Amino acid sequence: MSRLSNLAESLVGSEIVKLGNEINNRIRNGEKIYNYTIGDFNPAVFPIPTVLKEQIIKAYNDGYTNYPPADGILPLRAAVSQFLNTYEGISYENDEIQISSGGRPLIYSLFKAVVNPGDKVIYAVPSWNNNHYTSLNGGIPCEIQTTAENNFMPTVAEIAPHLPGAALLCLCTPQNPTGTTLSKETLEQICDLVLAENQRRGPEEKKLYVLFDQMYFTLTYRDTKHYHPVALRPEMKAYTISVDGISKSFAATGVRVGWGFGPANVIAKMKALMSHMGAWAPMAEQVATAAFLKEEAAVNTYLTDLKGKLEQRLWRIYEGIDQLKQKGYVVEAIVPQAAIYLTLKFDLKGKSYQGKLLNTQADVTQFLLGAVGLALVPFNCFGADADSPWYRISVGTCQLEDLDVIFDSLEKALAQLS
Ligand SMILES: Cc1ncc(COP(=O)(O)O)c(C=O)c1O
């Protein structure tokens, strides 16, 4: 076979998709698997807002089927601007907002706009897909290995030494895969570091930009609060490009409406790139999302209900794992703060199940699949070491009543380990 581009030849497929294929094969072969690997929602459990659905249908009936403008229709950018102001207290003009088909094209075009091949890109590990976007753009990864003690979020001290010479710092809060967040103090200190670094750079030097991924920002629980760099330090507006959308906040992953916001000069380049990629959100979905976001009461009612259901599941799992830990099993969970994820530890390497040694962490993953029917994503799929005992569980497809059954079989399986 003939060789393709260096990029094509070096592409690494998604580890989660590989795992998902294996799980689907097992389900096809008749195994009962609780598949909590995907960062998605089961629409039967978590449907999109009714108003949004009705507005999408109406928009098609009204004939909104032509090309949208490359940066998104004006009423949607205006609605996003209002939404950001209401929920985060930040102000963005229409030319500082870019609409796209979900969050991914925004991340891709932002990388293209600020990262040259060979530029340093800083991101925490584990984290979602920063490794792929960095390699797609020829960036040099600068990975911060985070720890359980810090809820797997990067600390100021871990970030600081890497900023000189870096093109992009990727922050994600609430974070996929951990379901944890950056505190106000930490984010403030990171902003101060970025501002100081940019002040130090000469007028001809490329600035350090921040990718601020807040795809899950509305989904925070109990006393956890979300903070935006620009709300904390207004000077950060010149360097922060945020990624957001309806995918997670409104359980609308398949509707494909996202928005990026940042300084007008960067957004203009992202728009130019987007016009070649054609990765716009469909016209009718843009019209519908604009109408939905303006219905503040419907937005609030929906968010309260969605958050209530997600929080219930996350805490049920957290408490279930904690009870097993109290009973002496080597399992652990990080207190859930946000998003649809929870971080679990199954430190079972070296134990035996039905006479078979769990030699590697991959064996532990298979044990959870085979003995409990529990499918989770090991942190190594997000860039952590292959022998990391930590996992992401996603509750977007979780039926509450299944959890009793799962915890029952998990305890039985754990009890059989020797
Ligand atoms: C942290 C984070 N950012 C961005 C995205 C991309 O979202 P979208 O599905 O809208 O492209 C995801 C999707 O899983 C995500 O987890």
* Total residue length of the chain: 418
pTM above 0.95, yes or no: yes
Show which of 295, 319, 337 is a domain's final residue.
Answer: 295
Answer whether 258 contacts ligand 1 (Cβ < 6 A).
yes
Give per-residue pLDDT as tens, 363-373.
Answer: 999 999 999 99
337 & 261 share domain: no
Measured in angstroms, how far is the CA atom of residue 369 from the centroid of ligand 1? 26
102 & 239 share domain: yes
270 & 380 share domain: no
Kindly report the protein residue whose alpha carbon is nearest to atom 3 of ligand 1: 215
Answer whether 172 contacts ligand 1 (Cβ < 6 A).
yes
Give per-residue pLDDT as tens, 381-408.
Answer: 999 998 999 999 999 999 999 999 999 9
Give per-residue pLDDT as tens, 136-188.
Answer: 999 999 999 999 999 999 999 999 999 999 999 999 999 999 999 999 999 99
Taking 70 as the threshold, does the pLDDT of residue 1 lie above it? no
Measured in angstroms, how far is the CA atom of residue 215 from the centroid of ligand 1? 6
Answer whether 176 contacts ligand 1 (Cβ < 6 A).
yes
194 & 100 share domain: yes
CA distances from 151 to 174, 353, 392 (A): 11, 30, 13
287 & 166 share domain: yes
10 Å Cβ neighbour count for 398? 26
The answer to whether the CB of 333 falls within 8 A of the CB of 148 is: no
Measured in angstroms, how far is the CA atom of residue 339 from the centroid of ligand 1? 11
Answer whether 106 contacts ligand 1 (Cβ < 6 A).
no
What is the C-alpha to C-alpha distance for residues 414 and 332, in angstroms, rounded to an integer? 13
19 & 64 share domain: no
What is the C-alpha to C-alpha distance for residues 337 and 220, in angstroms, rounded to an integer? 6
184 & 279 share domain: yes
What is the C-alpha to C-alpha distance for residues 229 and 88, in angstroms, rounded to an integer? 10
What pLDDT, on the 0 to 100 scale, is given for residue 411?
A: 98
CATH code, 82: 3.40.640.10
Give the confidence band of 13 by pLDDT, cuts at 50, 70, 90.
confident
Show which of 229, 262, 295 is a domain's final residue.
Answer: 295
| Atom of ligand 1 at shortest range from CA of 102 | 10
Average pLDDT in the 228-233 region? Answer: 98
Instruction: Give me the residue label for tokens 């993953």.
Output: 365
User: Within the chain, what is the greatest distance between any pair of CA atoms?
Assistant: 66
Measured in angstroms, how far is the CA atom of residue 199 from the centroid of ligand 1? 31
288 & 315 share domain: no
Ramachandran assignment for 339, one of left (phi > 0), alpha (psi -120 to 50 degrees), beta (any other): left
10 Å Cβ neighbour count for 415? 11
Kindly report the protein residue whose alpha carbon is nearest to atom 16 of ligand 1: 176
Let me know if residue 1 belongs to a domain: no
CATH code, 396: 3.90.1150.10
* Residue 149 exposed, middle or buried by CB count within 10 Å (0-12, 13-18, 19+): exposed
| Atom of ligand 1 at shortest range from CA of 175 | 1
At residue 338, what are phi and psi to the nearest 5 degrees? Answer: -165, 175
Six-digit token string for 262 = 């940042």
Provide the domain count of the chain: 2
Show which of 240, 264, 295 is a domain's final residue.
Answer: 295
Q: Could you give the 3-state DSSP secondary structure of residue 141? A: strand
Measured in angstroms, how far is the CA atom of residue 363 from the centroid of ligand 1? 29
User: Among 99, 108, 128, which residue has the most ligand 1 atoms within 8 Å of its CB, making it the best to mutate?
Assistant: 128
What pLDDT, on the 0 to 100 scale, is given for residue 216?
A: 98
What is the C-alpha to C-alpha distance for residues 338 and 175, in angstroms, rounded to an integer? 8
**Which range marks the domain in which residue 309 is found?**
6-46+301-415
193 & 79 share domain: yes
The answer to whether the CB of 167 falls within 8 A of the CB of 209 is: yes
| Atom of ligand 1 at shortest range from CA of 39 | 14
User: Among 247, 253, 377, 392, which residue has the most ligand 1 atoms within 8 Å of its CB, making it the best to mutate?
Assistant: 247
Answer whether 102 contacts ligand 1 (Cβ < 6 A).
yes
Measured in angstroms, how far is the CA atom of residue 168 from the centroid of ligand 1? 18
Give per-residue pLDDT as tens, 278-321.
Answer: 999 999 999 999 999 999 999 999 999 999 999 999 999 999 99
The answer to whether the CB of 101 falls within 8 A of the CB of 282 is: yes
